[in-house]
Amino acid sequence: MQRRHFLQASAAAALTSKTTLGLAQGGATWPSVKPIRIVVPFTPGGTTDMVARLVGSELGKQLGQSVIVENKPGAGTTIGVDYVAKQPADGYTFVCVANSFTANKTLVKNLPYDTTKDLQPVALMGLSEHVLATHPSSGLKSLADLKKAALAKPDSLTYASFGNGTSAHLSGALLCQMMGIEMVHVPYKGQGPALTDLLGNQVSVMFGNWSEFRGHIESGKLVALGMATPQRSRFAPQVATLAEQGVVLESNSWQGLLAPAGTPDAIVQRMNAEVNKALATPRVVEVFAKSGVVSRAGSVAQFTGFVGSEITKYGDIIRRAQISMG
């Protein structure tokens, strides 16, 4: 009897050891245990949600395991991010974040998680380029026009954003800093409502995703003051960049995958490779092209460096503009 119990215990220990080894090596054991979850800390329907579901679908095919996308919005994305930060580091829970993740480190007091210690960067996936646009009736056609109008009547101009702390908000604040002008920030709950008011001439200017603005600009309902890209965009080669007009400012909305800190490096590296593979599939390439999303495949180290540079960039903007949230 004792020998039988000993053999059973030995077999259980061997199985546990094998499972642990499989996880550590990112081998066949992972991800066969259970479905993979990707948490999106935004409401359904936005670009981040689209990218997570599109790439997640391809990951499911590649890994031979179900990939479930769950939306956990609220509190400027901190609810969803905090949820994942506190999950087991077993390679079965990830979070798809955007610019706000890096801005919140400086912007939000008393974050329930440590941005750089509780989460592990896995892969950068996509990036939506921003255009700075205005209503035709504003009479503005360039950054020079914007500066002239702002200096003539300080605080008479407004800039809309997707919400406090979003890339559109911080890019607007940076634009003011770089041009030496003042504009009043008008936050909205998402890009949709902000764009509606821009089309209705309720706000002066706004940074937004080119894909959502393109039709309105091409129809003449909006005027593009410039693309916030380093070089002319392949999606909008006819639109001059802000840099060409003397203001070197890059603005975009990006999406990246994070895992709880402590997730085995082999799994992190495997997931990174699978994400890069998914980004190259015909379906993802086609949808990204139609949506104006630039694929940003790269290594774990590259994404880690990117996250660090974004934290620094937004931290500087927030401190200079004295922006704060609870």
| Residue 10 confidence (pLDDT) | 43
| Residue 326 confidence (pLDDT) | 54
- Per-residue pLDDT of the chain (326 residues), as tens digits, is 444 444 444 444 433 333 344 444 444 589 998 999 999 998 888 889 999 999 999 999 999 999 999 999 988 899 999 999 999 999 999 999 999 999 999 999 999 999 999 999 999 999 999 999 999 999 999 999 999 999 999 889 999 998 888 899 999 999 999 999 999 999 998 888 999 999 999 999 999 999 889 999 999 999 999 999 999 999 999 999 999 999 999 999 999 999 999 999 999 999 999 999 999 999 999 999 999 999 999 999 999 999 999 999 999 999 998 987 75
Tokens of 240: 């001059």
280-284, long-range: CB < 8 A, 24+ apart: 281/58, 283/54, 283/58, 284/54, 284/55, 284/58
Name all domains of the chain by residue range, CATH numbers in brackets: 34-128+253-321 (3.40.190.150), 131-251 (3.40.190.10)
Measure CA of the first residue to CA of the last residue in the chain; give whole Å: 63
Model's pTM, two decimal places?
0.85
Of 144, 131, 134, 126, the residue nearest 241 (C-alpha): 131
